[in-house]
Structure 1
Amino acid sequence: MLLQKYYHAHFAGWILSYFITDKFKKTFNSNFCRNPDADSGGPWCYTTDPDTRWEHCGVPSCTEECIHCSGESYRGKISTTQNGLTCQRWDSQEPQNHGFIPSNFIDNFFLNYCRNPDGESRPWCFTTSTSKRWDFCSIPRCTSEPPTIVPELTCTTGEGEAYRGTIAVTESGKTCQSWSAQTPHKHNRSPDNYPCK
């Protein structure tokens, strides 16, 4: 995913934004809350209130601390290995030097949570121990079936970029403006610009 810095009215300032890939484009033809720019506050929307351009939606965080398959989609907060070692932050090169660059990943890779960025058999992390470079994490397997279409229908993980639920009202109760509408707020996040989202 390519990163670019640009001025955007959503934040009214300089932000680090992503060129959004096709996999997130299918639901932009609605007024449901989304997080197309990986906003740290989670899913948001433009509002129908002319005086309030946008607001966060308050979508709850997912709490399931388990993995499906090899855990490549795991976004929980476990940060200790199966042997009780503390995970090293992914944006740190000490004590373990490594080639994983946090800016290449869309979720909170700068923290020290267990992840599976390279297709191992289950999530793992580099450790803060000088005697063990990395270790697997002990995360239970989910008892539910793996999601087949949309993993985040009612809650979010990370910053909520994968949220595809139907909440269409902000935290303060304002109705979300349809992403395909340009009133009352003009923007470039339209279905034409994101045809598969």
Structure 2
Amino acid sequence: MRSFPGKDLKMNYCRNPDGELRPWCFTMSPTKRWEYCNIPPSGLGSQCISGNGDGYRGRIGITESGNTCQHWNTQFPHKHGWIPDRYPCKDLEENYCRNPNGEKRPWCYTINSSVRWEYCTIPQCDGTEQSAGMSSGCYQGKGLNYRGTTSITVSGRKCQAWNSKSPHDHGKTPEKFPNAVSTEYLCCKGG
């Protein structure tokens, strides 16, 4: 078994201990062993917010509680009036978090029929909200040094703890990948 020291396999936080394309985790879903995480890479457009985020045009499509966002051009499971064709300047594309109405931060309708809408967790560009920047963060390259606290996959699945063998048995435990708590939290800057 290969050993990967310094990979900081704590809790159920997304990591890249083995050189995958980007940070990932084992999921809590018995039918999906692992998945890439919902972390924006740095340098791909605006992946952080300034102020209330009304100008945010990034590609995060997961709410703060892990619900996947509903596509703006669909009316199911939630009917709404934010039709992309009616508001072309709001960039209501795909299922990405947006703030078309001046809320306190970007939000979206969710695909969870019991949760109409929720705010999204997107880091502040200026670093004034440390908790937001550190909980989401972003990564460079393949994310080998990513040490943020995101624990949700791109499809909204919760990550399995690295020291757990359930629901998926694996060899990437904190004991085999020890040490190194990195303090490198990268701020995502646009462009």
Q: TM over 0.5: same fold? A: no
**TM-score calculated relative to the size of structure 1:** 0.40
Higher relative contact order (CA 8 A, sep 6+): 2
